[in-house]
Each structure stands twice: as C-alpha cells, then as structure tokens.
Amino acid sequence: MAKIYYDKDADINILKGKKIAVIGYGIQGRGQSLNLRDSGLDVIVSELPGTKNYEQAKADGFNPVSAKEASKDADLVQILTEDHVQAKVYKNDIAENMTKGKVLIFSHGFNIRFKQIKPSKKIDVVMIAPKGPGALVRKMYEEGKGVPCLVAIYQDASGNAMKMALAYAKGIGGTRAGVIETTFEEETETDLFGEQAVLCGGVSELIKAGFDTLIDAGYQPEIAYFEVLHELKLITDLIQERGISGMRRGVSNTACYGDITRGPRVITDRTRKAMQKMLKEIKSGKFAREWIKENETGRPNWNVLMKKGDEHPIEKVGQSLRNMMPWMKKA
C-alpha cells in the first residue's frame, strides 16, 4: 500500500523566511501561487511580459519577473511551464542560479525522468503533483479542503528534501486531502500511459469509432453524437464519484448489462497487447524522444494529425449541437 502524508506530517514553518519562485502562471501556476501566498509564504511569480498570464498575475497582486531573476532570488523554485519548454527555460535562465541548498520542484516528472533537465547534485529535487487542475486546487483551498497530491524525491542533497516537499504540499493545501508517496519514474510513466491509452488517446478514438460505426449504418449524425459523445460526461462523472461498480448501479439495468457483456468485445486481448506495447515505448524513452524531436522540428506530425482530427465529421455536428445548449461554455 502507498504511504500517505497528512497535515500532521508536514511543518509549513520550515518555509517561513524563505522565498518560493513559481515559474509559469498558467492554471496550475496560479492556483499554487495563490494558495502558497494565502498560507503566509513569500511567493515570486515569473511570467512573460505581454501575455494574458502576466496580466493575470498582476491583477492577482503579484509583480511578475523573469525566470532568471525569480530563480536567483528564491530558495525554492517550482517549474510550472509546459513540459516541452521546461528544459530550455531551465538551461537558459534557471540552472546557474540553483546553488547549494536550494530546492527544485516539479509537478510532473517528464524532464527529470527522461534527462532533459540534469540538476546540480548540490540541490534537492522534489515533486509535488496535485491530482487535479489548478482551478480546483484553488477552489478546494478556499473551501478549507485540498486536492490529493503525489510526492517524490529525486535528489536529497540536504537530507531534508521530504520535509521541504511536504511543507510545500501543505502550503498549497495538499496535505488536507492526503499526499501519496511515489517516484519520478512511476508518476511520469503512469501519467503518460493514462493520457495515451485511456484518458485522451483511448477515449477519443473510441468515440470516433462509435460515431463512424453508427454513421456507416445509416443513422443521423446528430443522434450518433448524442449517444457516443455528449452522454459520456454523465458516465465519467459517475465513475469518478462512485467507481466503475457504482456507475453500473447508477445507470439503467439495460445499460449495465450491455456494459458487462459487450464491453469485453471492444477491449480485447489485442487491445491489451497494444496497451502493453505503448507502455514499453514510454518506459524505454521512445515516446519521449519522438515528442522532443517533434517539438524541435516544428511539430510536422502534430500539425497533420491535428488538422485531420479537426476535419472529422463529429466536430462539425458537435459544434452545431453545442450551439443549442446554452449551459455549455463557448470555446
């Protein structure tokens, strides 16, 4: 069983008098920065001038500075830019300022796991990864609650890396819910696998396959959309709140019987073998190398595949139907 830490296990006072730099004021950066500040900690925000995130940081009462300036002044540096730019930002603006005794923090282990960032052996390197978007991290904190987090230690130069990491987790509200101990390898590999095989890749392909099957059989696109995409949120909400067994008891008996008897026909042994192959590609670094090269060469494959996806008939009918739904947030 995983080891889980709570409020009683973390001492936020060890961060008092220290400066925490948050590099990147996106959704996660904003949520963490505001929570840390409201926990009485000294936060420096770094964001690019002229961006919406920069203006948001100013509106929230921060004075955004460059990554170089923030990392120079800070004792702890949390990198919350997107994965594909972290290595460049670290090399150009942060690395030289990570002197002995400082703490480097991540919320996703990609660049450490695949050695795109190679930190000095003189610093602590830790991960605090909230298992929810930044807006939820903020909302739960304001309600006196928290979002569960993961904690991992990559380097413990000071001998106090875990204490510092848990103190940071407490600062963003994570220890209120529970902080689960893991490793950079486990977090990164399972996160990538979940995105590729289930949450993004698996689900989107399953939806399109279902839609195409109904259209090829002569059903109206609008009806197909409702049955394979629109109602998905109802199911995922039930699964998140109650688990798979709870979801099955929350839908009709007809739907439940179709689930337990027909679902295995869709996810076959062949599908599971494909998943195993995908996991091997993640663990070996093949996917990471491919993604890094994709970014270095201007994303040629990304551009082609995104355009192809945008042109799928489900997108056109979906846009039309969503315009009929006033409760939907318009993109």
Render pLDDT for 36-50 as a digit per residue (tens, 0 to 9): 999 999 999 999 999
The answer as to whether 330 is a domain residue is no
**pLDDT of 309 over the 90 cut:** yes
Tokens of 236: 């995922």
The answer as to whether 18 is a domain residue is yes
In this prediction, residue 274 carries a pLDDT of 98
In a shared domain, residues 171 and 228: no
In a shared domain, residues 145 and 207: no
Q: Give per-residue pLDDT as tens, 111-135.
A: 999 999 999 999 999 999 999 999 9
In this prediction, residue 63 carries a pLDDT of 98
Number of domains in the chain: 2
Mean per-residue pLDDT, 78-106: 97
Length of the chain: 331
Mean pLDDT for the chain overall: 97
The full 3-state SS of 60-100, as one line of letters, equals: CCCCCECHHHHHHHCCEEEECCCHHHHHHHHHHHHHHHCCC
Q: Which of 152, 182, 212 is the last residue of a domain?
A: 182
In this prediction, residue 292 carries a pLDDT of 96
Cβ neighbours of 144 (radius 10 Å): 8
In this prediction, residue 319 carries a pLDDT of 94
**pLDDT of 230 over the 60 cut:** yes
Portion of the chain with pLDDT greater than 70, in percent? 99
In a shared domain, residues 39 and 172: yes
Side chain identity, residue 284? S
Q: Which of 164, 182, 200 is the last residue of a domain?
A: 182
In this prediction, residue 276 carries a pLDDT of 98
pLDDT grade, residue 327 (50/70/90)? confident
Q: Helix count (H) and strand count (E) of the chain?
A: 17, 8
**pLDDT of 331 over the 70 cut:** no
Percent helix, strand, coil in the chain, to 5, is: 60, 10, 30
Side chain identity, residue 179? V
CATH number of domain containing 110: 3.40.50.720
Instruction: Provide the annotated active-site residues.
Output: 108
In a shared domain, residues 106 and 216: no
CATH number of domain containing 270: 1.10.1040.10
Rounded to 5 degrees, φ, ψ at 176 are: -65, -35
**pLDDT of 100 over the 80 cut:** yes
In a shared domain, residues 196 and 314: yes
In this prediction, residue 330 carries a pLDDT of 60
**What residues make up the domain containing 266?**
191-322
